[in-house]
Structure 1
Amino acid sequence: MNNSLNIHKIHLWKIAIYFFFALPGFAIASWVSRTPTIRDALGATTAQMGWIIFGMAVGSIVGLLGASHLIAHKGGRFVMVTGMAVSSVGLVIVGMGGTWLINGVAVFAGLAVFGFGNGICDVAMNVEGTAVERATRKSLLTGFHAAFSVGTLLGALAGAAAIKAGMSVVVHLALVVAVIVVSVIYLYRLVPAGTGKETGENSNVSPMTARERMAVWKERRTVLIGIIVLGMAFAEGSANDWLPLVIVDGYKVTPATGSFAFGLFVAAMTIGRAAGGILLDRLGRVVVLRASALSAIAGLLIVIWGQSYAVAIVGIVLWGLGAAFGFPVGLSAAGDDPRGVAARVGAVSTAGYLAFLVGPPVLGIIGESVGLLRALIVVLIGVTIAGLLSQEAKPIGEPNQ
């Protein structure tokens, strides 16, 4: 009876984490859907809007770097809930700054707060995800990341509906915050307290000092897993920022066709992540990472040197399927050791987000000289390196594959 009760609690924990992954995606897409309205209200140029949006990147990096220390002292659930609360406050500031105050600095500050909340929440929910994997002995992190994609899609659809209905930015974002707050109030009770917390109360896992948590950045395995995630996240981030333009400029199609190509990429990636758990349990991390790298390499080669849009579409699907696994599988590998799990997941998450934030602008600079299609060769190199290092993600203690 006691065993069945524990199984039920773990099942509820797993469901709660699916929702905790979906909520940040919902929030981010809600903000993104209102960027044109806020830009017009501020009267900002493209360059000025770029600097305003940079506030989110600043907040996210600070949150990612500090998350492991917070989790070690307070536990994953506390940091996850705090992150969602902070990001909600940031979203309200963004709405008010963009429409009531009409102040770019206020929007920048709101995005920095929003980004910080998302940053600490991101690490905490991945720490929780790896803990659920250990409790169930199943590969679940790709599915959790698929839930983030679903949340993003729902946020985009809700944003489009709000715009069509003529809803103001403040009201729209206030409703988004209300959905997040109500969801978190209900869900947090389903998540056990103390995941990732290092207090010394558990005799089997001695707590890490702050110096030891910083030292994980020098660990060979953590660094190499970070490089895997860096390469694969670059493949994902470059598509998120540049794929419509790559297809429009490279294949001389309409913007609508370019948007369709991006939608196809996102769909392929989401399907890959949804099916990822089954593949990982049957084939193992190393095989799946190698196969995903090969898929992304093949897709990029087809897109770069394809002779027609119809051929490029095949490449986009392969690229999307290949980009689906690197980030979540790398985070899962980083969480193998319960001692210092928050520090290692935080380090690998930071590597991935650096690829998301720094990679696309670099691609734009290179693309200015050689064209966006040829600039994708840099992404191809990153994915190839990630594929060659796939062996490093094997579970600790498992023989070489």
Structure 2
Amino acid sequence: MTSPATTPPVYPGGLDRSQVVAWRNAIFIIFGVCGVGLASWMARTPAVKAALGISTGEMGILILSLAVGSIVGLVASSHIIARFGARKIITWCLAIGPLGLILAGFGVSILPNFAIVSAGLLVFGVGMAVCDVAMNLSGAVNERVLGRTIMPVFHAFFSFGTMLGAGIGALAELAGVPIFAQAAVVSAAIIVASMVAVRYLQSENAIEQDTNPDAGHSTWRERLSIWADPRTLTIGLIVLGMALAEGSANDWLALTMVEGHHVDKPSGAVIFGVFVTAMTVGRLAGVSVLDRYGRVPVLRGSAVLAIVGLLMVIYSPVVWIAVVGVVLWGLGSALGFPTGMSAAADDPRTATARVSAVATIGYVAFLVGPPMIGFLGEHFGLLNALLPVLALIIVAGIASGAAREPKKA
């Protein structure tokens, strides 16, 4: 007697499993290439500083250009994504953003000029920030369709990308590859890989219409009103503190190890790679840890790890102990941003606006952090300049209750 044929499950939007998995894998690639682009540049910051002949404070202003571009992109992102959809926006951003990286490399290696580098980083920041919101939104919708926790794995692929980018930067430094050549090759790879991946993305609007037929496009007033929601602001504080924990390492760790612990430039790039490797491990392990213990205990534990690690980096007179601190710092920074994004997207009706708002608050860390650390580093040394980061991580730990999972009906 033959068993009756089973009907394959149909997901929201009329998708089958192969389409949902292909969508998930495409988001993995998109997160990864964004990590490659950012880290390959950040790993060369000591070389950028030397090539332009600028001070630590001026380096902070240069990094600020990237942050300003990010803030501009984030502020506009919810309106742009609501108008055109995440898939189209990701396509545009990953075509235009890398061109800014090429321009920045041109301003370092071919025609050394602070303004050209600043302009390139501004363009790169806008593109990557809008893409950041769009890919997090697409990832959050994919997570809901799959019906299981997947957001930390998306961010782990960003960390895989940063590991690869840091390795590219370290090897390029050792080989004496000009920053322009590195930027051009990396940017071309990003554009090609992303153009393949976006073909498999699905429309978040189609999914929402299928699960909630009465849903309509929100107005710009409704999207702005999300800023008055206390939960949005408190989740934003979590992401702010943990984004600063992550972003301060992205911006300054390589240079801090060179100037604060007197390692050579290639070693500084490698230690930055240690940080992003620790973040990757934390994000891969984070799926099971979050499912077992829940968001709030995990976020509080993460804050403790990040604080202990930072204290070891700042105060240890021994390099290997500082490197252990870098590992703890990376592990503690791993889950703050992805968990905040998942919490922001809990309610499908407000997901786009809230993800955009929370990401914008988080990116304030990238706006305020670089010049703050640069200014303090100019006067008190880069190690001491990391002390304010501790305060905001403590705030993030205290605010963690806002990320609690919604009660099941």
TM-score normalized with structure 1 length: 0.85
Q: Which residue is equivalent to 2:3? A: none
Q: Which residue is equivalent to 1:337? A: 347
Question: Cα deviation per residue 1:279-298 (whole Å; 9 max; x = unaligned)?
Answer: 11222211211221222233
> Does residue 223 in structure 1 map to residue 229 in structure 2?
no
Q: Which residue is equivalent to 2:103? A: 93
Tell which has more relative contact order, 1 or 2 (C-alpha 8 A, sep 6+). 2
Q: 1:318 to 1:194 in 2, by over 3 A?
A: closer
Q: 1:298 to 1:154 in 2, by over 3 A?
A: closer
CA deviation after TM superposition for structure 1 residue 228, in Å: 0.9
Query: 2 CA distance for matches of 1:265 and 1:26?
Result: 14
Question: Cα deviation per residue 1:255-294 (whole Å; 9 max; x = unaligned)?
Answer: 4776665443332222101211121122221121122122
Secondary structure at the counterpart of residue 389 of structure 1: helix
Quick one: which of 294, 298, 316 aligns to 2:304?
A: 294
Query: 2 CA distance for matches of 1:354 and 1:209?
Result: 25
Quick one: which of 223, 240, 247 aligns to 1:237?
A: 247
Q: Which residue is equivalent to 2:73? A: 63
Larger deviation, residues 346-355 vs 262-271: 262-271
Query: 2 CA distance for matches of 1:263 and 1:195?
Result: 37
Matches for 1:2-401 after TM superposition, within 5 Å: 2-3=8-9, 6-32=16-42, 43-46=52-55, 50-100=60-110, 103-161=113-171, 170-195=180-205, 203-243=213-253, 254-255=263-264, 261-303=271-313, 309=319, 311-366=321-376, 376-397=386-407
CA deviation after TM superposition for structure 1 residue 165, in Å: 6.2
Query: 2 CA distance for matches of 1:246 and 1:168?
Result: 22
Contact 1:127 1:195 in 2 (8 A): no
Contact 2:43 2:272 in 1 (8 A): no
Secondary structure at the counterpart of residue 354 of structure 1: helix
Match of 1:45, as an amino acid?
Answer: I
**Percentage of pairs with the same residue:** 46
Q: 1:367 to 1:378 in 2, by over 3 A?
A: same
Secondary structure at the counterpart of residue 45 of structure 1: coil
Secondary structure at the counterpart of residue 120 of structure 2: helix
CA deviation after TM superposition for structure 1 residue 101, in Å: 5.3
Match of 1:192, as an amino acid?
Answer: Q
Question: Cα deviation per residue 1:202-241 (whole Å; 9 max; x = unaligned)?
Answer: 5342332101111211210010000011112222223334
Match of 1:142, as an amino acid?
Answer: P
Query: 1 CA distance for matches of 2:311 and 2:40?
Result: 34
Query: 2 CA distance for matches of 1:296 and 1:102?
Result: 37
Secondary structure at the counterpart of residue 407 of structure 2: coil
Larger deviation, residues 144-153 vs 11-20: 144-153
CA deviation after TM superposition for structure 1 residue 349, in Å: 1.1
Mind listing any 5+ residue stretches in structure 2 that lack a counterpart? 1-6
CA deviation after TM superposition for structure 1 residue 363, in Å: 3.8
Q: 1:343 to 1:360 in 2, by over 3 A?
A: same
Larger deviation, residues 333-342 vs 195-204: 195-204
Contact 2:100 2:124 in 1 (8 A): yes
Match of 1:134, as an amino acid?
Answer: R
Contact 1:200 1:207 in 2 (8 A): no
CA deviation after TM superposition for structure 1 residue 31, in Å: 3.7
TM-score normalized with structure 2 length: 0.83
Contact 2:64 2:367 in 1 (8 A): no
Query: 1 CA distance for matches of 2:233 and 2:190?
Result: 34
Larger deviation, residues 179-188 vs 240-249: 240-249
Contact 1:244 1:255 in 2 (8 A): no
Q: 1:85 to 1:258 in 2, by over 3 A?
A: closer
Mind listing any 5+ residue stretches in structure 1 that lack a counterpart? none
Match of 2:54, as an amino acid?
Answer: T
Secondary structure at the counterpart of residue 22 of structure 1: helix
CA deviation after TM superposition for structure 1 residue 121, in Å: 0.4
